[in-house]
Structure 1
Amino acid sequence: MSRSLITRASSKDIRRTLLLANLMFLSACSGAPSKMLAAPVTGYNHTSAAINWFSVNGAGGGNVGPHQGGGSQVCCGVVPRYWTPGLRAIVEWEKDPDPYSSKMWPEQSYSDAWTKRMEAKKRQYTRYKVTVEIPRYNEPGSLSVHFLPYNEVRVSATGITPGYPGYPYNFPMNMPEPKVCPD
């Protein structure tokens, strides 16, 4: 990784950290506990497509490869300190249905011909936006987004980690994808 990329990423992280520290300082001065809390954003992709990018209520998430997730978190979304009925999240994402196709191309990587083919491939990406319910939680935690077959999405905001009892969505990472979309 080049030094300029590391420096840019580091300065961006420093700015985010300072902003969060200032927000926490200001909320501490008010004497009342904050109604909203910062929450890392994590993605879990249970499909064979790649999620190129996603966001939850405008808070960015990274890219998530096919049948992957949970390893990286992006800071920060926000969640209410206390769950309320009707709590929802807006999730937006871009999907690459054939993430490994460029490995099979005969063109030299990043050549003019390869770049032209990649531009055509990018036109096949699809974008989505849905509003989903966030299930009840007792202790707030990460905003965890689960991408399921047929563009279904689930979001959790609990402090419980996927795979543990009490987590609302313990889906297998490699979910079978039916040939026909269920109604």
Structure 2
Amino acid sequence: MIPRRHFSWSRWAPLVLLFTALAACQPARSGGKAATTPPPSSEPHTLTILGYNYTNRYIDQFSVNGAGGGNMSVSTPTSSGGGGTCCAVWIDGTPLPVTMHVRWVADTCVEFLTNKYGERRATARNTYKEQDVVFKGPVPADPNNLEVHFYPDGHIEIAITKMPSKPLLKLDPEREVKAALCSDVKP
């Protein structure tokens, strides 16, 4: 004899709810025709994160809303200082302005420690900074890049572009400063 299976709402309820939700997302009908107001575009774009470092310090790492942007040397007249990393997502129709959270290694200092064998070794200690940046636009029709521009005065600007921009500031490449000793860095 084959055992009879019991009907269980707990097993089928998620599917019923899913199909109900999908049916609710269908366009409204009026006289057999679709509604005249099209839904806002929501096409996602995968953006390459590009960093531009106009400061006098190497930036070991940065992120935008948690998406890693890599590391950056100091920008030169022809180079941003960093390469592109993957990925940030932009969805068409996102209302502007948008606030994005940027976190970066603002400074690295060298600390000399002696291990249990009496060997003196240099270690690096990072100091992080964070800043909320308001992006007001514009957004091109086919966005490909999320650019993060770090300025010498400490402010950050974000741009979404189709093609990578050339550096916006032309600074002397000799301005790069080596890491300080931790005892020289004020907390």
Match of 1:76 in 2: 87
Match of 2:164 in 1: 161
Identity of aligned residues (%): 26
Whether the 8 Å CA contact 1:47–1:174 is kept in 2: the answer is no
**TM superposition score normalised by structure 1:** 0.57
Letter in structure 2 aligned against 1:127: Y
Shift of 1:112: 4.0
Match of 2:75 among 67, 70, 76: 67
Distance in 1 of aligned mates of 2:132 and 2:155: 10
Structure 1: unaligned runs, 5 residues or longer:
1-31, 106-110, 164-168, 177-183
| SS of residue paired to 1:49 | coil
Distance 1:93 1:73, change over 3 A: same
RMSD across aligned positions (CA) = 3.3
Distance 1:61 1:37, change over 3 A: same
Match of 1:37 in 2: 45
User: How many aligned positions are there?
Assistant: 127
Q: Which has the larger radius of gyration?
A: 2
**TM superposition score normalised by structure 2:** 0.56
Letter in structure 1 aligned against 2:169: F
Instruction: Describe the superposition over 1:53-73 as per-residue Cα deviations: whole angstroms up to 9, x where unpaired.
Output: 100111101111123536511
Q: Kindly report structure 1 stretches of 4+ aligned residues shifted beyond 3 Å.
A: 32-35, 173-176
Which is worse superposed, 89-98 or 54-63? 89-98
Give the structure with the larger strand fraction.
2
Give the structure with the larger helix fraction.
1
Shift of 1:85: 2.3
